[in-house]
Amino acid sequence: MADPTTNTTGKVSDPSETAASRRKFLEVAGGTALLGGLYGLTWLQKDTFDRPRNLRAPVKASATTPDIVCVEGNPQSYGDITERAINELGGIEKFVKKGDRVVITPNMGWMRTPEQAAATHPDVLRRLVQLCERAGASKITCIDYTLDDWKMAFEICGANKAVQGTKAQLLSPTEVSLYKAVDIPSAVPKFIPDGTPAGKPYDPRHHFNQIDQHIPREIMEADCFIVNPVVKDHEAAVITIAMKKLMGCIWNRKDYHRYGLHDCIAELNCFIKPTLIVTDATRALQTRGPKGPGEVTTPHKVLAGIDPVALDSYCCQFLTVKGITPDVVNHLVLANSLGRGQIDISQLNVKEISGAKG
Amino acid sequence: MLFRAIVNPRSRPFRSLLTLACLMALAGAGRQASADAKAALPATSGNLKMVHSPTSPQLFNPGTLENHIDGEAQAVKQYGFKSCTYAEYSPTGTGTQLLTVDIYEMNTPQDAFGYYSHQRSDNAKIVKVGAEGYVEPTAFNFWKGPYYVKMAITASNPGPFQPQMPKLAQAIAAKLTGSTDLPAIMKLLPPGYKPLSNQYQRSDIAGQSYINNGVTGKYPSAGQQAELFIAIYASPAAAKQAYTKYHTYLSAPATAALGAKAADIKGLGESAIGLKTKFSGQVVAALSGKYLIGMRKATSQAAALPIVKAAVAHAK
């Protein structure tokens, strides 16, 4: 048994108690250090943002290649006009190389039939997948974060049918583990042109409201990313076409709606630059978008290009019931100011083809 | 003494009790309102049965609406949204082939009409149900009082559901209480608008964040898509502030069509401006008292002016 000693307070203390206190101190200190280290790791983790490393940049085949191709067909030729639109841009091989991991993001998130026009037409999606296969894609993933039950949505909207017999897989990334953290503000210009040499300072909404964002690993690791939206009215965003479609590829949507939808869409499009955009205007959902059901018109058109601002601005003309013009779509206006694309179609080389077959 | 303190309108206990009573009344009204919507949903209608689950029918409030309709929730909330009661119907009372019903309750009939009219096409096939409704192949919508009711078919084969929609709509409309009159604010629009193009908008009129709380309508006499808006402000000073912003926007070089320049128009309201724009055709805007009046997408200034003048006169 250890001898009792007297400590400075005059109280008798047992050496075994002192040892216990030391042990306790070491435990507390060690625990604190461990917790501190873990906390530090969370910061480290937070700062470990990723970028799409392999993603092929959107590039026009040549200076004379149209900025926008718009091909008109009929319900029997939706696949053919999809191919024709891409061919007019130089062919799928300009965008997809042998061995590429390709990600396509069509609209397929709602339990709505093709006639209800809330999803990309199955014939358009199918041809796009087939073209990617033909170009030698090693992997094709079709991604959309579904809002309805994904099994039902994929079945009812025709996406299952569209990829049947192909190597493409459908994915609704509903787990955060399927995503990587990204730093959207890093890709957003710090100044907006305002006629002065320096321009007007721009503080990204993502930065101002501290919006964390994550993008699916499939996209971050892809070689080619193709946006394949359908033309729709949108109650909150005015329209949802190529630019808004990227919101089907992010984890945190709520903050966008809460803090500034248009700003966030424009900034997101500065971060992710699709290799190719194939817009489905075979049908257009005119009212009660994005889910509908609403009034549907049938322009019978498919468009292709690489500038989301230009394509979406051009497609406003298909939203005839509300008579939407690009100047009332604030994400188009802002993206144009941020240099992401051209809102003024009169400045572009547009090729319109009617009555086409593949 | 305590009694005196309680009955004294200036005392803290009196005010506390008053606040408590108000909160209880509001909570009671909320429960009553939700109960109204819930009670309006029949257990069966024709050959359809309500799909029952522990949470059916579901009730969503402004804090939870996003879980139900995602981003559209922000648009609904602009119109004084209070609650949404959601139910599903199917022939067997089970399954995934459904007719869905959403009963949105807004603050006022004007708000209910507002969101209803915003979602209505001017090509709509109108039916007499509630205050007004319309039918589409897979949808049936109507409004009545502070309620906006949306029905949709979620089925790969909508055929069997289509004849059931009007029956269910009529059953629901019969139980909902409220006015069936067009909101008084809609009378601000001068005659000549395309039928069913008249809307009440809470925000972002003409794509501008400062043009809110107004009525809009399409006037084909000024162009196929020509649209008039009349925004009402709390005071002439507030209207003037908004007009000044819009004037600045229209005067910016980026807004004008190639070779066009904004020009003031004399003799129209207190101040007016006209411009051929890059995207919205001919625009004419005028300030008149607490109103900001404008026409967009007109074919020419000459076509727009008679309608804007009529609106200025009408708004007085």
Asked if B154 lies within 8 A of A328 by C-beta distance, the reply is no
pLDDT in tens, B163-202: 999 999 999 999 999 999 999 999 999 999 999 999 999 9
Q: Most B CBs within 10 Å: which of A321, A334, A336, as the mutation test of the B interface?
A: A321
Asked if A323 lies within 8 A of B122 by C-beta distance, the reply is no
- Please name the residues between 207 and 236 in chain B that touch chain A, using a CB distance below 8 Å: 207, 218, 225, 227
pLDDT recorded at residue A35: 63
- For A53, counting Cβ atoms within 10 Å of its Cβ (0-12 exposed, 13-18 middle, 19+ buried), the class is exposed
Please give the DSSP secondary-structure letter assigned to residue A177. Answer: G
- For A351, counting Cβ atoms within 10 Å of its Cβ (0-12 exposed, 13-18 middle, 19+ buried), the class is middle
Chain B residues within 8 A of A147 when measuring between CB atoms? 70
Q: Which secondary-structure segment (H or E) carries B296?
A: strand B291-298
User: If you average pLDDT over every residue of chain A, what do you get?
Assistant: 90
Query: Poorest-confidence range of A49-53, A195-199, B7-11, B201-205?
Result: B7-11
**Residues contacting A50, CB < 8 A, separation 6+:** A180, A181, A182, A220
pTM of the model: 0.87
Per the CB < 8 A criterion, the answer to whether A48 and A323 are in contact is no
Work out the pLDDT band at A8, boundaries 50, 70, 90: very low
DSSP conformation letters of A54-101: SPPPP--SSTTS-SEEEEE--TT-HHHHHHHHHHHTT-GGGT--TT-E
Residue A261 contacts B where some CB pair is shorter than 8 Å: yes
Asked if B207 lies within 8 A of A327 by C-beta distance, the reply is yes
Chain A residues within 8 A of B256 when measuring between CB atoms? none
pLDDT for A43 beyond 90: no
pLDDT recorded at residue A338: 97
H-only helix segments in chain A: 15-47, 78-88, 122-134, 150-156, 159-163, 205-208, 217-220, 242-245, 254-259, 261-271, 308-315, 330-337
pLDDT recorded at residue B237: 98
Location of structure tokens 């069913």: B196
φ and ψ at residue B168, rounded to 5 degrees: -65, -40
Residue A287 contacts B where some CB pair is shorter than 8 Å: yes
Per the CB < 8 A criterion, the answer to whether B5 and B13 are in contact is yes
Location of structure tokens 């909101």: B183
* Chain A residue at shortest CA distance from B71: A257
Range A333-344 average pLDDT: 97
CA–CA separation, B113 and B143 (whole Å): 6
Per the CB < 8 A criterion, the answer to whether B89 and B49 are in contact is yes
pLDDT recorded at residue A195: 82
pLDDT recorded at residue B32: 47
Q: What is the CA radius of gyration of chain A?
A: 26
Residue A244 contacts B where some CB pair is shorter than 8 Å: no
- Please name the residues between 93 and 152 in chain B that touch chain A, using a CB distance below 8 Å: 96, 118-124, 136-139, 152
Identify which has the larger pLDDT, B291 or A39.
B291
Q: Where are the beta strands (DSSP E) in B124-255?
A: 125-127, 132-136, 139-144, 147-154, 199-201, 214-218, 227-232
Give the angle B144-B148-B152 at the CA atoms, nearest 5°. 125
Range A99-125 average pLDDT: 97
Nearest C-alpha of chain B: how many angstroms from A171? 19
**The tokens of A72 are what?**
């008109």
Bond into A15 cis (ω within 30)? no
Mode of pairing for the β-strands spanning A230-234 and B48-50: unpaired
CA–CA separation, A155 and A153 (whole Å): 5
Residue B73 contacts A where some CB pair is shorter than 8 Å: yes
Chain B residues within 8 A of A294 when measuring between CB atoms? 119, 121, 136, 139
Nearest C-alpha of chain A: how many angstroms from B12? 37
Please give the DSSP secondary-structure letter assigned to residue A206. Answer: H
CA–CA separation, A54 and B236 (whole Å): 57
Chain A residues within 8 A of B296 when measuring between CB atoms? 325
Please give the DSSP secondary-structure letter assigned to residue B259. Answer: T
Work out the pLDDT band at A190, boundaries 50, 70, 90: very high
Which of these, A241, A181, A229, lies nearest to A48 by C-alpha position?
A: A181
pLDDT recorded at residue B306: 98
End-to-end CA distance of chain A: 96
CA distances from B127 to B115, B132, B136, B139, B141 (A): 18, 7, 11, 12, 9
Location of structure tokens 């144009």: A336
CA–CA separation, A147 and A150 (whole Å): 7
pLDDT recorded at residue B155: 86
Nearest C-alpha of chain B: how many angstroms from A293? 6
pLDDT recorded at residue B71: 85
pLDDT recorded at residue A288: 96
Which of A294, A320, A344 lies closest to B139 in CB terms?
A294
pLDDT recorded at residue A40: 52
CA distances from A52 to A231, A272, A323, A341, B81 (A): 26, 8, 37, 20, 40
Which pLDDT tens digits describe chain B residue by residue (316 residues)?
Answer: 445 555 555 455 555 555 555 444 444 444 444 668 999 999 999 999 999 877 789 999 999 999 899 889 999 999 999 999 999 999 999 988 899 999 999 999 999 999 999 999 999 999 999 999 999 999 999 999 999 999 999 888 899 999 999 999 999 999 999 999 999 999 999 999 999 999 999 999 999 999 999 999 999 999 999 999 999 999 999 999 999 999 999 999 889 999 999 999 999 999 999 999 999 999 999 999 999 999 999 999 999 999 999 999 988 7
Residue A234 contacts B where some CB pair is shorter than 8 Å: yes
Specify the length of chain B in residues. 316
Q: Most A CBs within 10 Å: which of B78, B136, B161, B201, as the mutation test of the A interface?
A: B136
pLDDT for A6 beyond 50: no
Bond into B163 cis (ω within 30)? no
pLDDT for A57 beyond 90: yes
Location of structure tokens 């926007």: B249
Per the CB < 8 A criterion, the answer to whether A334 and A49 are in contact is no
Nearest C-alpha of chain A: how many angstroms from B21? 32
CA–CA separation, A229 and A80 (whole Å): 17
Chain A residues within 8 A of B252 when measuring between CB atoms? none
CA–CA separation, B165 and B75 (whole Å): 25
pLDDT for A15 beyond 60: no
Residue B297 contacts A where some CB pair is shorter than 8 Å: yes
CA distances from A264 to A175, A353, B154 (A): 22, 34, 31
Per the CB < 8 A criterion, the answer to whether A80 and A358 are in contact is yes
* Chain B residue at shortest CA distance from A289: B72
Chain A residues within 8 A of B251 when measuring between CB atoms? none
**The tokens of B66 are what?**
């996003």
Range A280-298 average pLDDT: 97
pLDDT for A9 beyond 80: no
| B23 SS3 class | helix
Bond into B109 cis (ω within 30)? no
Which of B122, B124, B279 lies closest to A326 in CB terms?
B279
pLDDT recorded at residue A18: 56
**Residues contacting B90, CB < 8 A, separation 6+:** B48, B49, B51, B97, B98, B99
- Please name the residues between 13 and 52 in chain B that touch chain A, using a CB distance below 8 Å: none
Asked if B66 lies within 8 A of A254 by C-beta distance, the reply is yes
Percentage of chain A modeled with pLDDT above 90: 81
Beta-carbon-side half-sphere exposure of residue B200 (alpha carbons within 13 Å): 21
pLDDT recorded at residue A211: 97
Asked if A152 lies within 8 A of B123 by C-beta distance, the reply is no
CA–CA separation, B68 and B87 (whole Å): 12
Predicted ipTM of the assembly:
0.86
DSSP conformation letters of A241-253: SHHHHGGGG-S--
pLDDT recorded at residue B31: 45
Chain B residues within 8 A of A255 when measuring between CB atoms? none
* Chain B residue at shortest CA distance from A238: B207
Asked if A293 lies within 8 A of B136 by C-beta distance, the reply is yes
CA–CA separation, A45 and A47 (whole Å): 5
Chain A residues within 8 A of B81 when measuring between CB atoms? none
Which of these, A156, A117, A159, A155, lies nearest to A141 by C-alpha position?
A: A159
Which of A258, A287, A328 lies closest to B206 in CB terms?
A328
**The tokens of B240 are what?**
């003037």
* Chain B residue at shortest CA distance from A116: B138
